[in-house]
């Protein structure tokens, strides 16, 4: 990934509302603008603007279906970043730490 593309990805991710939109699309792909505006406090205009930035960063891709535009999460740029900074020898250690952290968090949830 060249620097300009990478900048777009990091900038797009550096916003909680945009990450929330990505989370929605991770749970269910193919949502329309209307569906993405539901359950958000943002205006339709704000959601449209965020989606534009996510699309420019190639984190969201769209297909036209009739009059609607369907939105999908595209995790490929995030995977490229992952592959760049996490070498193949470190991958299992990083995964182990991630699993440990998840297990410990799970414990906290169980207690509360």
Partner 1 sequence: MTNPEFIYTTYIRTTPEKVWNAITNPEFTRQYWGGYENVSDWKPGSKWAHVANDAARSVMVGGKVEESVPLKRLVLTWASPSNEADVSRVTFEIEAIEDMVRLNVIHGDFKPGSDMKEKISGGWPRVLSSLKSLLETGAALKVMSCKTCASAGAAKLEAAA
CA–CA gap between residue 83 and residue 8 (Å, rounded): 17
Q: Is 37 in the site for partner 1 (CB under 8 A)?
A: no
CB of 81 to partner 1, least distance (A): 9
Q: Is 52 in the site for partner 1 (CB under 8 A)?
A: no
Q: Is 96 in the site for partner 1 (CB under 8 A)?
A: no
Stretch that binds partner 1, among 36-44, 45-53, 78-86, 101-109 (CB under 8 A): 78-86
Range list of H helices, the chain: 3-13, 16-27, 33-37, 44-56, 76-85, 91-111
Binder to partner 1 among 7, 17, 23, 29 (CB under 8 A)?
Answer: 29
Cα–Cα nearest to 61, from 75, 49, 44: 75
Cα–Cα nearest to 97, from 86, 83, 81: 86
Q: Is 58 in the site for partner 1 (CB under 8 A)?
A: yes
Looking at the Cβ atoms of 5 and 46, the one nearer to partner 1 is 5
- Pull the structure tokens for residue 17: 């509302």
């Amino acid at each position: 990934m060249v620097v300009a593309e990478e900048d777009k990805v990091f900038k797009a991710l550096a916003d909680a509302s945009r990450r929330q939109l990505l989370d929605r699309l991770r749970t269910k792909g193919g949502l329309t603008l209307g569906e993405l505006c539901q359950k958000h406090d943002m205006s339709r205009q704000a959601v449209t603007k965020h989606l534009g930035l996510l699309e420019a960063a190639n984190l969201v891709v769209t297909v036209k279906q009739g009059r609607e535009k369907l939105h999908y999460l595209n995790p490929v740029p995030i995977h490229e970043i992952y592959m760049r900074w996490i070498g193949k020898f470190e991958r299992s250690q990083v995964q182990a730490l991630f699993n440990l952290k998840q297990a410990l968090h799970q414990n906290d949830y169980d207690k509360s």
